[in-house]
Amino acid sequence: MDGFKENQDIVIIAATNRANILDDALLRSGRFDTKIKIELPNQEERKGIMKIHLKKKKESVSNNVLEAIAMESETYSGADLENIVNESAYICIQNGREIIQDKDMEEAFAKIRMQRKVSYL
């Protein structure tokens, strides 16, 4: 971040889900001139994000389960939702199956939700 001449065209793009823990030196004036905050996805977007990540996997997850998870995950980012899908695949494999089922998604969501609660304590 230091040592660049003003006439050099350098663009630095960074993203975080945890802006509250960034080092103050990164946030000092002149470091990043433009900050764009992207809001968390709404319920329909959360459902769509999970569907996108499920496309890459063998699954038979019902629309009802996706809808229920989307309804209960209002504070989840796209990365959090991807984590639920990946965890459901892991649970599926642990149980000796090849196709992700509703119960895998439900268990994954419960596990991720519990981890989030513990991390905030």
* Ramachandran bin of 44, using left for φ above 0, alpha for ψ from -120 to 50, beta for the remaining angles: alpha
Q: Average pLDDT for residues 15-28, to the nearest whole number?
A: 77
The pair of structure tokens assigned to 18 is 């945890």
- Fold for 43-119, please state it: Helicase, Ruva Protein; domain 3 (1.10.8)
The tens digit of pLDDT for each residue in 76-112 reads 999 999 999 999 999 999 999 999 999 999 999 999 9
Angle at 15 between CA 10 and CA 18, to 5 degrees: 140
The 10s digit of each residue's pLDDT in 33-51 is 677 788 999 999 999 999 9
What is the value of pTM for the model shown?
Answer: 0.76
Q: pLDDT of 49-73, one tens digit each?
A: 999 999 989 999 999 999 999 999 9
28 vs 21: CA distance, rounded Å: 14
